[in-house]
Amino acid sequence: MMLPFIPLRACAGITGFESPAAEYTELRLTLDQILIDDPAATYLGFVEGTSMKGVGIFPNDILVVSRAETVINGDVIVATLNGGFVCKIADIKQKRLVSSSPGCKDYQLSEGDEFIIEGVVTRSVRFHRPLKRGLF
């Protein structure tokens, strides 16, 4: 579905700003066009847990994950680890999965781990209100 896009620049905390209708420009963009670079190599996933709050990823956020990106040290990734999905910061040099929240432990990868990188998190979307209807 194509939604109208109104370029709007607003600073949080400012009590007044020019009406967006003053210089109304309607561009036809979809959220796919804004959020996804390579649709054939991208999937979405919901976040569970609080271990990535330090980088702004919270429970119930949606992650935009790209399989087309090459992982570089410090990227936020989604991976399967011993049969479960994880979202962590990749520490390639030390072979660790790093959490970004205090009290959440990092994970040192070892020889016996079943570990597959599923993609790089390129963006995340936050819900400021819960969905009124379920997605599934």
Active site residues: 51, 88
Q: What is d(CA 78, CA 65) in angstroms, rounded to the nearest whole number? A: 7
Q: Among the residues of 49-133, which ranges form H helices?
A: none
With CA atoms as reference, report the closest residue to 66 among 88, 43, 86, 87: 43
Contact by Cβ (8 Å): 3, 30:
yes
In one letter, which amino acid is 29? Answer: L
Amino acid at 102: P
Cβ(120)–Cβ(75) under 8 Å?
Answer: yes
